[in-house]
Amino acid sequence: MRYGPHLLDEVLRRTDIVQLVGARVKLTRRGQQFWGCCPFHKERSPSFKVENARRTYKCFGCGKGGDAFRWLMETEGLTFPESVERLAAQAGVELPKWSPEDEAREEKRKSLYDVIEAGCAFFEAQLREPQGRAARDYLASRGLNGEVAKTFRLGYAPSGHNALLEHLKTKNVTMDDAVAAGLVRPAEGERGARDFFFNRVTFPISDARGRTVAFGARALEPDAKPKYINTGETSLFSKGQLLYNFAAARAPAIKAQTVVVAEGYMDVIALVRAGFDYAVAPLGTALTEDQLGLLWRTAPEPVMAFDGDEAGLRAAHRAARLALPMLKPGCSLRFVFLPKGEDPDSFLAAQGPARMKAMLDAAEPLSKVLWRVETEGKDFSTPERRAGLERTLAEIVGLIGDAKIADYYKRDFDQQVFDAFKRRAAAPAAGSAYGADRGKAPARGGKNGAPFRKPPLLPVSSQLKASLVARAGRAGVRQLKEAEIARCLLAAPEIAVRHGEILAEVPFSDRSLDTLRHELLNLAASSFRLENPGLETHLAARGMADLVARLGRGPGAPADEVSGGDTDAEAQFLRAAQELRDLAEIEPERQRAAERLRAEATEANWAEYSRLKGSSGD
Ligand SMILES: [Zn+2]
């Protein structure tokens, strides 16, 4: 699909999103906005907002939101191109005609689907033939009968090297197409063209729409290497972008609001048979960003099921690291570690579905797994090792893309470090970061050994000093803008109430200012009376005395007059926030995103473009 951003914008401009959403959700007008009960989560009082001005919908309860395209994808399960076509037709926007090359390419793709389908039917038939006996025996040894084979369209690629090739010839499939479909290896040197799969059990892999596009295959000979292979990359198949069983699992996963990610085909089949029909698996590689994106379209916290051994923990570690930059409020991962030596298939056979369900329900959150990976079985008996751990944890927090989530992770890790090492210390050691902070924050510090509700934050003065030290160029300008915004907030704290959404999006690079921002937003949300000097006292009690003092003394503080001062601060805040946004290199990024979108109007490119344009509602 090749529609430029302008055309897609045009479709959205001409779409009445209130009417579109209103067809499914009862909406009530409040000023320029329409509110209703969110269709994505259960609620009694409306926290779901639709706005024609911004052309978005947004739920403040579960966080779901987006434009009209996303609405159709979320509620009707349409693909992005299908959503575009539907809305364009309704809005009377003419989509550009396909070029002859586009048409030829589409024709080619269509014929490849047919070729792969022919291959799939051939493998299925071979499994029932006498030569499929070894394959049937293997499946039976794993507890799979003919009915299961039929459901999952399992098959057998015969031994010999050209059984499929010969079959495809009888179907008038050209050699080019057989090769392009990934079913046949082209001739090479002395060797003629030959089948890609032979003497293997085949597992068809389908795309998100349920069309077979590739195969995974398991060797039957015990010493064949590798044990599993799958179709190489073709124009229809890229193994990092699909998940095994995704098309079938999608609807059940959306309904159950959970999806289980197992390691292999057999695990998925075992899970589905045991009633977990929302099970999927990556295709022989570690989870990719694209696959994580697919998973999050079905459920907010996909559950990764790993074997409970070293390799499982390492795989979990990789998945966790991959997810960090992509985390969004409400979107995370959870993890299940099966007992040592078990995979979901063997665990289900030995323990049954009820135990499996209990395991899945008790899946560990991402933050806990990250902590375990870094600490389990390790010795932190020296100060250097503990400091090393804190540095590693800080690096993990640094990988998190979303500032709000990064802040929560930092608090969570601080608490765990505190619980693990510092609580044991008899008294707060003078000069230690935590000890010093505790002294300054009597409102939060408990008696010695008493639990802290929230972990104390590291002192901010050194961070701020480092950040405000004159740095040359762009980075320095950013720091100054950030400080300017913070000053505006202190001068007119109700900005946090009036412009909470803008404040939440300010790309602070300075962690201490980020902390200040979150404190203000929390206060605004808890209807704390946001006014000075009560606020400064409160912030001081939160360990931000140095920050407040420094900001107050700095140049460029907004006029703090009794009348008009607040409005000035507000205007200054809005201007500075916008400038900072642009400075944060959204502009060049936005241009790159627009180019990518022009080159190919995929859902991912549109989502990225919308996000950078600030109109996605996310
Ligand atoms: Zn909701």
CA of 245 to the centre of ligand 1 (A): 27
In this prediction, residue 459 carries a pLDDT of 31
CA of 39 to the centre of ligand 1 (A): 6
Residue 285: phi and psi, rounded to 5, are -130, 170
Residue-wise pLDDT for 529-543, tens only, equals 666 667 888 888 888
CA of 90 to the centre of ligand 1 (A): 27
CA of 58 to the centre of ligand 1 (A): 8
Q: Could you tell me how far CA 46 lies from the centroid of its own chain? A: 26
Task: Identify the CA nearest to 21 among candidates 53, 46, 58, 47.
Answer: 58
Catalogue the long-range contacts made by 483-486 (C-beta closer than 8 Å, 24 or more residues apart).
483/513, 483/551, 483/554, 483/556, 484/556, 484/572, 484/576, 485/513, 485/573, 485/576, 485/577, 485/580, 486/513, 486/516, 486/517, 486/547, 486/551
CA of 209 to the centre of ligand 1 (A): 26
CA of 288 to the centre of ligand 1 (A): 27
CA of 290 to the centre of ligand 1 (A): 24
What does pTM read for this prediction? 0.58
How far is residue 120's CA from residue 182's CA, in Å, rounded to a whole number? 12
How far is residue 395's CA from residue 346's CA, in Å, rounded to a whole number? 37
Task: Report whether 492 contacts 566 (CB < 8 A).
Answer: yes
In this prediction, residue 374 carries a pLDDT of 87
Name the 3-class secondary structure at 96.
coil
Facing residues of 354 across strands? none
CA of 521 to the centre of ligand 1 (A): 21
CA of 46 to the centre of ligand 1 (A): 9
Which residue stretches of the chain have pLDDT < 50?
426-474, 555-564, 615-618
How far is residue 373's CA from residue 387's CA, in Å, rounded to a whole number? 16
CA of 333 to the centre of ligand 1 (A): 19
CA of 37 to the centre of ligand 1 (A): 8
CA of 320 to the centre of ligand 1 (A): 25
CA of 328 to the centre of ligand 1 (A): 15
How far is residue 203's CA from residue 216's CA, in Å, rounded to a whole number? 5
CA of 42 to the centre of ligand 1 (A): 7
Q: Which residues contact 166 (CB under 8 A, 6 or more apart)?
A: none
Task: Identify the CA nearest to 514 among candidates 367, 389, 387, 405.
Answer: 405
CA of 25 to the centre of ligand 1 (A): 12
CA of 166 to the centre of ligand 1 (A): 54
CA of 585 to the centre of ligand 1 (A): 31
Sign of CA dihedral 18, 19, 23, 26: positive
Residue-wise pLDDT for 286-326, tens only, equals 888 889 988 988 888 999 998 877 788 888 888 998 899 99
CA of 62 to the centre of ligand 1 (A): 4
CA of 40 to the centre of ligand 1 (A): 5
Task: Report whether 177 contacts 112 (CB < 8 A).
Answer: yes
CA of 35 to the centre of ligand 1 (A): 12
CA distances from 267 to 204, 263, 362, 501, 605 (A): 15, 7, 19, 43, 33
- Please give the DSSP secondary-structure letter assigned to residue 155: E
CA of 540 to the centre of ligand 1 (A): 36
CA of 49 to the centre of ligand 1 (A): 10
CA of 74 to the centre of ligand 1 (A): 12
In this prediction, residue 529 carries a pLDDT of 66
CA of 444 to the centre of ligand 1 (A): 33
In this prediction, residue 584 carries a pLDDT of 67
CA of 501 to the centre of ligand 1 (A): 18
CA of 409 to the centre of ligand 1 (A): 23
